[in-house]
Amino acid sequence: MAGRWTWSVNITLNPPDYFTPKQITKSSSWIMENMPWYITAMLEKINDDSYLTVTLHCDNESSFWNCDAEVEIDVQTTAPKKSRIMKNKHFNAASSFLVFPKIARWSDIRTLDNRYKINIALSNDVTLVINGTKLYANKTYLAIHSQVFESMFSSNFKEKTEAVITLEDNCDDFIELLKFIYPCGNPINATNYNGMLKLADKYAMSHVMYECEQFLIETNKVAVINKLVISNQYSLPKLQGACFQSFKDIKQIEQLKQCEEYDLLSDSTKAAILEKVFKLLQK
């Protein structure tokens, strides 16, 4: 995989009561761009003090991936000076981790209830206003997932330099979309797929469209007739093919024709259904 992405994660690590130098503690994993990431921490002794070293890892088993990242890490301590560092890194299978050595003194951290919290931060640089509701987002991240936003933010459109952009969309649907494309990676389900399809089509988000199609192929929570209508509306041939494969006898097709949604199908789809009937009759 190749690409530029931006993301934000807050991780709290709980070390042992007696955290000793060279002893490693590991965070839980999170998913970003379908790859698992985690951080580890250890103490390094320098004279009479111990300092915290943090490492960001990508735990991807594949050997065919790479990505460029700008990572900012912030450890909360009681010291007046913030422990915040930014680094650039090219990740790949041969180099899948990034080390932040000795970024904070352990004695400054232990006063925080023997825990330390690490923020990998993303600054929002655009406010999306939808039906009066403000959603805070990042232009680069939107552009990665959408050809429309990419053009909007990189060409001679006024939105390129504007910090506030008004969109004519359903706010709840857009929130679901952001939850899906951002690192939290909320799944597509029977409640949100319809709104996601509309936005994916409007903003040319091919990955979102693909994932919606895969969900509809695999789920049994959406009626076949609705799947056929959607495959027509958004030109999803794999979904339409999966619907046809589900027809095992003529009775299923007869029931399909009784649905009100059948009239929404295109003539070409109806012709394909008729051809399926002929094939079933020949069996």
27's tokens:
């965070």
Burial class (CB in 10 A: 0-12, 13-18, 19+), 66: middle
pLDDT reported for residue 19: 52
Separation between Cα atoms, residue 232 and residue 229, nearest integer Å: 5
- pLDDT, one tens digit per residue, over 108-120 is 665 444 444 444 4
Amino acid occupying residue 199: L
169's tokens:
């969309």
pLDDT reported for residue 61: 65
pLDDT reported for residue 83: 57
pLDDT reported for residue 180: 86
- pLDDT, one tens digit per residue, over 53-77 is 888 888 776 656 677 777 777 666 6
Q: Is 97 helix (H, G, I), strand (E, B) or coil?
A: strand
For each of the chain's 283 residues, which pLDDT tens digit applies?
Answer: 333 444 555 555 555 544 555 667 787 777 766 677 888 887 777 777 777 788 888 877 665 667 777 777 766 665 555 556 777 778 777 788 888 888 777 766 654 444 444 444 445 678 899 999 988 888 877 888 888 998 888 877 777 778 899 999 999 999 999 888 876 667 899 999 999 999 999 999 988 999 999 999 999 999 999 999 999 899 888 898 888 888 888 888 888 888 888 888 888 888 888 887 777 777 6
Those residues whose C-beta lies under 8 Å from the C-beta of residue 197, and which sit 6 or more positions away, are 209, 212, 230, 234
Do the beta carbons of residue 74 and residue 83 sit within 8 Å? yes
pLDDT reported for residue 17: 47
The closest of 65, 63, 9 to 37, measured between CA atoms, is 9
